């Protein structure tokens, strides 16, 4: 035993060597290396014979293919009296298509080891297919059925209707949902699509028929209003004829342009308090109408918001979470779209510190208007630049990035120039965009919380005219879900 211990000690001494006495410096974080360069192969953009846009980027390391069909058909394309039409149409696409019922379609997708999903937002509907390369042909046939030949079966529509009404009833107990609804309406009003409920209202949802969905589909689901995005383990010369076979008979059509009303700009700060009796937390939203996705200030805004509330080490999160311990997390961000979307600073805070949290929010919103220290700016630029290449690791994420090229007409070299453009943002740029797009004295302030506990403190801040609403004022009475 003694010899063994001596041998081990001697071995450790040899392995450790003379550098063993060196102790790493833990007094400060290690220095960051240079941000990685992102050099992707050229994005290819072309058109099929019927005018359908094809955007392609290869990724050959793993035998997977992502195919996304993106149609410019969202909330901005529906009339106010048919709110929820776009999202209901999207929800019904995979509830039976071609010769298959909803269950048969789901079984066919699962058999191929694929996933097929449908989603919609204010501007677009997406049908996304993730599939092993060896099963691509069979999966494309299913994808084409979902996009071109949805059944809109009456029984499935009724099931979707009941699910939607149930969700609306549940919103009455969800402070976050209440805050989202009243905040959007405060900024945009109920005539602008950005101010309306994505799912519609109980009245509009009950009124939707299968023929409404078919008419919306006929009008907007045409190849000259869509793009097909392909990323993954397949060559362009192999995927193009397959897409022609699956989608070549899709007939172009006339697409009406959406008519979107102008957004009124706030002249002064307004405070809205929604009473949620017994709430343990207050949901806070502060902000204003921002900018659209094509703004020339996009990169400066990204860096500025990273400093303010776009990362864990941002000013808002460090102040409200780490220092004050008011919340689990505070953040801010711009929501970009075809039209100016909202800038929002937000958090869920303890009820008893609602007024104090508002003070800290507004202090940071005013503080970002001053010059940002160079060290803080460098951290923000590096944060935005270092995390960007990770978006191109998986074929699904790559296809999602490619969608932006189509929806916002971005240049084909956009991805390769992203990091250099972020790193080129200066202190003057950050200060300029903060002062141009953030006006704390004219922002909407929304609080959803227990009125009995928070109103006095909020009023004492004298932030501006205060409106008090009930949940029913915001959402209407909870819908009765049954055999409609």
**C-alpha–C-alpha distance, residues 118 and 109, integer Å:** 13
Q: Tell me, what's the pLDDT at 21?
A: 54
Nearest residue to 364 via CA among 329, 327, 320: 320
Would you say 411 and 233 are in contact if contact means Cβ atoms under 8 Å apart? Answer: no
pLDDT in tens, the chain (484 residues): 444 444 444 444 444 444 445 677 788 877 766 666 777 788 999 999 999 999 999 998 999 999 999 999 999 999 878 999 999 999 999 999 999 999 999 999 999 999 999 999 999 999 999 999 999 999 999 999 999 999 999 999 999 999 999 999 999 999 999 999 999 999 999 888 899 888 899 999 999 999 999 999 999 999 999 999 999 999 999 999 999 999 999 999 999 988 877 887 778 899 999 999 999 999 999 999 999 999 999 999 999 999 999 999 999 999 999 999 999 999 999 999 889 999 999 999 999 999 999 999 999 999 999 999 999 999 999 999 999 988 999 999 999 999 999 999 999 889 999 999 999 999 999 999 999 999 999 999 999 999 999 999 999 999 999 999 999 999 999 998 865 4
Q: Tell me, what's the pLDDT at 476?
A: 94
pTM, whole model, 2 decimals? 0.88
Give the 3-state secondary structure of residue 39. coil
Residue 349 forms beta bridges with which residues? 282, 327
Query: Which tokens in the block code for residue 465?
Result: 């005219």
Q: Tell me, what's the pLDDT at 40?
A: 77
Nearest residue to 228 via CA among 473, 52, 43: 52
Q: Tell me, what's the pLDDT at 35?
A: 62
Backbone angles phi, psi at 79, to 5 degrees: -80, 155
Q: Tell me, what's the pLDDT at 22?
A: 65
In whole angstroms, what separates CA 364 from the centre of its chain?
A: 24
Beta-strand ranges (E) seen in 30-165 are 44-47, 53-58, 64-71, 115-120, 125-132
**C-alpha–C-alpha distance, residues 328 and 338, integer Å:** 32
Q: Which domains does the chain have, with CATH numbers?
A: 44-247 (3.30.830.10), 270-475 (3.30.830.10)
In whole angstroms, what separates CA 329 from the centre of its chain?
A: 18
What would you report as the CA-atom Rg of the chain, rounded to the nearest whole angstrom? 26
Query: Which tokens in the block code for residue 403?
Result: 């969608």
């Amino acid at each position: 035993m003694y010899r063994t211990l001596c041998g081990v000690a001697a071995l450790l001494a040899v392995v450790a060597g003379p550098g063993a006495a060196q102790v790493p410096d833990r007094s400060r974080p290690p220095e960051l290396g240079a941000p990685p360069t992102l050099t992707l192969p050229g994005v290819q953009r072309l058109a099929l014979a019927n005018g359908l846009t094809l955007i392609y980027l290869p990724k050959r390391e793993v035998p997977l293919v992502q195919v996304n069909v993106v149609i410019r058909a969202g909330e901005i394309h529906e009339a106010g009296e048919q709110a929820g039409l776009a999202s209901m149409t999207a929800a019904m696409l995979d509830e039976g298509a071609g010769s298959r019922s909803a269950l048969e379609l789901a079984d066919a997708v699962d058999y191929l080891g694929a996933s097929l999903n449908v989603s919609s937002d204010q501007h677009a509907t997406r049908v996304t297919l993730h599939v092993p390369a060896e099963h691509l042909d069979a999966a494309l046939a299913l994808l084409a059925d979902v996009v071109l030949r949805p059944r809109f079966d009456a029984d499935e529509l009724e099931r979707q209707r009941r699910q939607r009404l149930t969700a609306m009833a549940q919103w009455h107990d969800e402070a976050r949902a209440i805050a989202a609804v009243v905040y959007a309406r405060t900024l945009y009003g109920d005539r602008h699509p950005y101010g309306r409920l994505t799912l519609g209202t109980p009245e509009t949802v009950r009124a939707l028929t299968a023929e409404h969905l078919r008419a919306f589909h006929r009008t907007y689901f045409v190849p000259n209003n869509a793009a097909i995005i392909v990323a993954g383990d397949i060559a362009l010369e192999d995927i193009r004829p397959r897409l022609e076979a699956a989608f070549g008979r899709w007939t172009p059509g006339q697409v009406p342009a959406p008519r979107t009303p102008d957004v009124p700009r706030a002249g002064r700060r307004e405070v809205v308090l929604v009473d949620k009796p017994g709430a343990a937390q207050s949901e806070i939203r502060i902000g204003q109408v921002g900018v659209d996705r094509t703004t020339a200030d996009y990169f400066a805004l990204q860096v500025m918001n990273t400093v303010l509330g776009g990362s864990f080490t941002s000013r808002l999160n460090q102040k409200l979470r780490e220092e004050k311990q008011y919340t689990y997390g505070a953040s801010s961000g711009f929501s970009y779209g075809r039209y100016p979307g909202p800038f929002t600073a937000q958090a869920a805070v303890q009820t008893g510190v609602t007024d104090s949290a508002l003070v800290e929010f507004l202090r940071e919103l005013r503080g970002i208007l001053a010059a940002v220290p160079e060290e803080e700016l460098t951290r923000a630029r590096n944060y935005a630049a270092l995390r960007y290449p990770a978006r191109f690791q998986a074929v699904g994420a790559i296809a999602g990035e490619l969608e932006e090229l189509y929806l916002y007409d971005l240049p084909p070299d956009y991805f390769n120039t992203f990091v250099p453009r972020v790193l080129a943002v200066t202190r003057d740029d950050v200060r300029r965009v903060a002062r141009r797009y953030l006006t704390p004295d004219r922002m909407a302030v929304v609080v959803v919380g227990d009125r009995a506990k928070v109103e006095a403190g909020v009023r004492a801040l004298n932030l501006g005219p205060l409106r008090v609403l009930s949940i029913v004022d915001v959402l209407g009475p909870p819908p009765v879900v049954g055999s409609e």
